């Protein structure tokens, strides 16, 4: 938990029956209601759950701002006492019902959506109890998964990075993708189509079998941060690059879908000092927010959303250019760009 967190509100609740801690953080409501997904996972303690929600909500504010979307940033964390797959369906139903009640209490200042371990089907359940839900299934009247749009945006960011590094394209480059869930797998096929050599790492044997079937190389999850590559693409959980990893990561660029891949404030400076180009995560992965907010709030069609996600590379390039000009990390440059587009302080 960040004691001097400057966000708008953190609310919490404990359910003695399931042992679950619920946290909802509203980082900012200056540009509109706070929005961001619901993450259900295990945390060491309540303070770490709150800290993660606070940091993730902050990234959502920046993501909305940099895309000019009329929303603030928020995030929900459902901290489970056991891994998600060990919950019975009755327990999970109860957890979703309590979460819906918490969202409803915020009266529309917070809108949720799918995130780690929550799906469109879960959003359908929540939507039965509160209207402040994005990303219901298409069958239930929503716009479904945002994973393909997120992958499209990350791909655009990666192409912009290749151009910035003077490579021209990704052809012949090695891209190491950490996590081949819905976003990572889609990204893998996009970069393979560009002629890149794809290496993947994932704890799931089924996903690795699919990767091998597609002709990708595989490395163990423990070798991810020491395997040489041109582009490292974190597409799993955040917090993997701390200052010491940043000092040694054998890659020329970091461009992925994970939220908050940098674990500490100095990691981006360490990467910059080594000439490792970091694509600010809240720009590279903003395709999901464009899909959910663009389609469900702004009434955009799929073509408009895809055009904007494909344009994220231009924002990434603007951040790289500003970073070069001002001699600041790319992450700081992207924060300035976000601040210039909204009521968000830099």
Angle between the N-to-C axes of helices 147-164 and 182-193, in degrees from 0 to 180, rounded to the nearest 10: 40
Cα–Cα distance for residue pair 99/218, rounded to 1 Å: 38
Are 232 and 226 in contact by the 8 Å Cβ rule? The answer is no
| Coil/strand/helix, residue 150 | helix
Are 240 and 251 in contact by the 8 Å Cβ rule? The answer is no
* DSSP annotation of 286: T
* DSSP annotation of 142: S
Q: What is the binding site for ligand HCI (CB under 6 A)?
A: 35-37, 63, 111-113, 115, 134, 259, 285, 288-289, 292-293
CB atoms within 10 A of CB 190: 21
* Least spacing, CB of residue 63 vs ligand HCI, in Å: 6
DSSP secondary structure of 156-201: HHHHHHHHHTT--SSTT-EEEEE--SHHHHHHHHHHHHTTPEEEEE
Cα–Cα distance for residue pair 93/82, rounded to 1 Å: 15
Among candidate residues 11, 59, 3, 2, the one with its CA nearest the CA of residue 35:
59
Q: Which residue, 153 or 251, has its beta carbon nearer to ligand HCI? A: 153
* Least spacing, CB of residue 285 vs ligand HCI, in Å: 6
Catalytic one of 75, 129, 314, 317: 75
* Least spacing, CB of residue 288 vs ligand HCI, in Å: 4
Q: Which residue, 79 or 146, has its beta carbon nearer to ligand HCI? A: 146
Q: Which residue, 63 or 252, has its beta carbon nearer to ligand HCI? A: 63
Catalytic residue list contains 75 = yes
* Least spacing, CB of residue 39 vs ligand HCI, in Å: 9
Cα–Cα distance for residue pair 99/14, rounded to 1 Å: 11
| Residues 6 or more apart whose Cβ sits within 8 Å of residue 298 | 69, 70
Q: Which residue, 207 or 295, has its beta carbon nearer to ligand HCI? A: 295
* Least spacing, CB of residue 137 vs ligand HCI, in Å: 15
- What strands, in cross-sheet order, belong to the sheet with 277-278? 217-218, 197-201, 174-178, 231-234, 253-254, 277-278
Q: Which residue is nearest to ligand HCI (CB)?
A: 113
Q: Which residue, 174 or 260, has its beta carbon nearer to ligand HCI? A: 260
* Least spacing, CB of residue 60 vs ligand HCI, in Å: 6
* DSSP annotation of 257: S
Q: Which residue, 36 or 313, has its beta carbon nearer to ligand HCI? A: 36
For 270, half-sphere exposure in the C-beta direction (CA atoms, 13 angstrom radius) is 15
* Least spacing, CB of residue 297 vs ligand HCI, in Å: 9
Structure tokens at 44: 């060491």
Cα–Cα distance for residue pair 145/162, rounded to 1 Å: 28
Q: Which residue, 36 or 280, has its beta carbon nearer to ligand HCI? A: 36
- Active-site positions? 75
């Amino acid at each position: 938990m960040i004691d001097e967190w400057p966000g708008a509100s953190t609310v919490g609740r404990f359910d003695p029956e399931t042992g679950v801690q619920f946290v909802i953080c509203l980082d900012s409501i200056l540009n509109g209601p706070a929005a961001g997904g619901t993450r259900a996972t295990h945390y060491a303690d309540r303070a770490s759950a709150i800290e993660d929600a606070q940091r993730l909500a902050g990234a959502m504010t920046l993501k909305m701002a940099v895309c000019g979307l009329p929303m603030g940033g928020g995030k929900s964390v459902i901290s489970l006492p056991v891994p998600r797959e060990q919950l019975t369906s009755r327990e999970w139903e109860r957890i979703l019902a309590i979460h819906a009640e918490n969202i409803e209490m915020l009266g529309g200042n917070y809108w949720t959506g799918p995130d780690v371990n929550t799906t469109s089907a879960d959003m359908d359940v929540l939507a039965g109890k509160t209207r402040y839900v994005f990303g219901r299934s298409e069958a239930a009247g929503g716009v479904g998964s945002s994973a393909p749009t997120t992958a499209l945006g990350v791909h655009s960011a990666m192409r912009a990075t290749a151009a910035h590094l003077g490579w021209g394209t990704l052809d012949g480059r090695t891209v190491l993708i950490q996590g081949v869930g819905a976003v990572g797998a889609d990204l893998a096929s996009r970069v393979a189509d560009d002629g890149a050599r794809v290496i993947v790492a994932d704890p799931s044997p089924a996903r690795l079998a699919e990767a091998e079937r597609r002709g990708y190389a595989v490395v163990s999850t423990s070798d991810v941060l020491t395997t040489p590559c041109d582009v490292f693409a974190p597409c799993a959980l955040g917090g993997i690059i701390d200052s010491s990893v940043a000092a040694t990561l054998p890659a020329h660029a970091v461009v992925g879908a994970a939220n908050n891949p940098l674990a500490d404030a100095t990691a981006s400076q360490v990467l910059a000092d080594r000439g490792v180009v970091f694509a600010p995560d809240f720009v590279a992965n903003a395709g999901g927010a464009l899909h959910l907010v663009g389609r469900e709030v702004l009434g955009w069609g799929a073509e408009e959303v895809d055009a904007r996600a494909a344009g994220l590379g231009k924002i990434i390039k603007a951040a790289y250019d500003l970073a070069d000009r001002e001699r600041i990390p790319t992450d700081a440059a992207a924060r300035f760009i976000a601040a210039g587009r909204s009521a968000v302080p830099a």
